[in-house]
Amino acid sequence: MKNKKVGDTMSLSKSRYCTGIRCKKELWLSCFKSEVAEEQDNDAVLDNGNKVGDFARGLFGDDYILIEYNDNKKIMIEETKKYLDKKPNIICEASFNYNNNFCAVDVLKNDLDGVEIYEVKSSTEISDIYIDDISYQTWVLKKCGLNVKKSYLVHINSKYIKKGKVDRNKFFKIEEITPRDMGLIEENVKELESILNSDREPDIDISLACKKNKMVSYDCPFFNYCIRNLPRPNIFDVGWRTSFNKKLDFYYNNLITYSDILASGGISTKADNQMNCELNNLGKIIDRDSIKKLLSTFTYPLYFLDFESYQVAIPEIDGTRPYQQICFQYSLHYYLEEDGELFHKEYLSEDYDGNPMYGLCKQLCEDIPMNSCVLVYNQSFEITRLKEMASLFPEFSDHLLNIVDNIKDLLPPFRNQEYYVKEMGGSASIKKVLPALFPGDEKLDYHNLEQVHKGDEASNAYLSLKTLPYEEQEKLRYSLLRYCELDTYAMVKIWGKLKEVSE
């Protein structure tokens, strides 16, 4: 995004208003210093948001007026005016401006006695920032002379299960959130306008608003910029599920460096181990007995399984709900016997417009015999997916649930710090554990893969396949296969390392 220059005439929009309510410094930085923001992969979020927004336009039937987007907001505003007097009607993206405060209403119900605002969100929950969004729109429309009768938030019903054509009335939940205190909103607008007209970066400290929580729906992309002058490592580098609230408590009490934190009594056993290992360059933490006990539960044939999946807001498959993980691929490394040959099988669905899970389940039940020991990394994901697919496909249910019953997890030794080295940096994620155990091994480096290097890239890649020409499609399929294959090969290597250190 090209930065505005300080001194340029800046307008507020509903997104800028919400950003400023969250953090005035974030608003200023996003307008005048956006190059210091961390890149965020929001393509899937934006795509889901657009699809949900488009779908919601038919809340009151398909006879609605759409104000097409235009870089010139005046054109959108003039188009809106044409239809405001032709009430009653439904106007989508109805656009308004008051004293350089612009908003486009997702769905405006234009009645004879006034209007109703419907703000559409692709979330399944209401966060405080959504209320700020609706409040700003209500204020703008009232200032433009409209009688705003009520304002509503439209969001996704997380319990909705698709059966046939998606039913808008059941898919969406509509909740009235009509703001009452217009004076407060006006005060906020004036304060944010002064921020946008200032040539000085606001001096605002970090706070709970920096990270996603019930009040805000995303992590601030400027967080690392705001803590750039802190010594490294610091309290915000501590892992092991140390909450952001707790980190802030230490920060506000000027306990920032690992030395200061440990001297104050520390945080928790695991967090303290992390800090001690990094601070004092300690060697490995290895609990051989615990590792050996886990390994003794593994039997042959031994399978290493990993799924790839995607999520969509509007379910496309009968029996699924919004944002349900849809498995489209797996990789399977396996040994038939101890000290035997390592084999590999894989599956990547070609059913781009149907149900990729059916073919996957069918092949998986052929590839993994009943009562086989199946290793995964972080079993909750695979177990949940297998149970969901078992409920969708009764013909495979017994076999899939048998796989569930025989799953073993490779995560606990690392999550429990039964095996820990400082290079893991306070994380038990396989993306951290693998390079820590095998530093410099190019065959195990996800960065050396082409096109697909992590899970969200795999999801986006699969969803894009049906739109690509054949040659590009085949190249991307190959990249997907190699990515998933590395996930299970990584598990093989990690299992081998556990065997090695337990002897």
Q: What is the DSSP code (8-state) at residue 237?
A: G
Instruction: State pLDDT tens for residues 322-352.
Output: 999 999 999 999 999 999 999 999 999 999 9
Quick: pLDDT tens for 407-449.
999 999 999 999 999 999 999 999 999 999 999 999 999 999 9
CB 142 within 8 A of CB 135: no
Q: Is 38 in contact with 224 (CB distance < 8 Å)?
A: yes
Least Cα distance to 270 among 298, 293, 241 occurs for: 241
Q: Tell me which amino acid residue 437 is.
A: L
Total residue length of the chain: 503
Structural domains of the chain, ranges and CATH numbers in brackets: 14-196 (3.90.320), 283-503 (3.30.420)
Residue 378, CA distances (Å) to 9, 307, 428 in order: 51, 11, 10
DSSP string of 335-367? Answer: ESSTT--EEEEEEE---SSS-HHHHHHHHHHHH
The answer to whether 303 touches 332, Cβ cutoff 8 Å, is: yes
pLDDT score at 482: 97
- In this structure, are strands 285-286 and 148-156 parallel, antiparallel, or unpaired? unpaired
Computed on alpha carbons and rounded to an integer, the radius of gyration of the chain in Å comes to 27
Output phi, psi for 290, to 5 deg: -65, -40
Q: What is the CA angle 301-305-309, rounded to 5?
A: 160
Confidence (pTM):
0.91
Of 78, 79, 58, 53, the closest CA to residue 67 belongs to: 79
75 Cβ contact partners less than 8 Å away, ≥ 6 residues apart: none
Three-class SS of residue 125?
A: coil
Chain centroid to Cα 408, Å, comes to: 27
Closest CA to 64 of 129, 118, 10: 118
Write out the E strands in 70-214. 89-98, 101-111, 114-120, 148-156, 172-176
How far is residue 304's CA from residue 290's CA, in Å, rounded to a whole number?
A: 21
Sequence-distant contacts of 205-208: CB under 8 A, at least 24 apart: 206/248, 206/251, 207/23, 207/248, 208/244, 208/245, 208/248
- Report whether 397 contacts 391 (CB < 8 A): yes
pLDDT of residue 1: 39
Q: State phi, psi for 305 to the nearest 5 degrees.
A: -120, 140
What is the block-wise mean pLDDT of the chain (503 residues), using blocks of 10 residues? 49 93 95 91 83 96 95 96 95 96 97 97 91 95 96 97 96 91 93 93 95 77 96 95 95 97 96 94 92 97 98 96 97 97 98 94 98 97 98 97 98 96 94 95 94 94 94 97 97 97 89
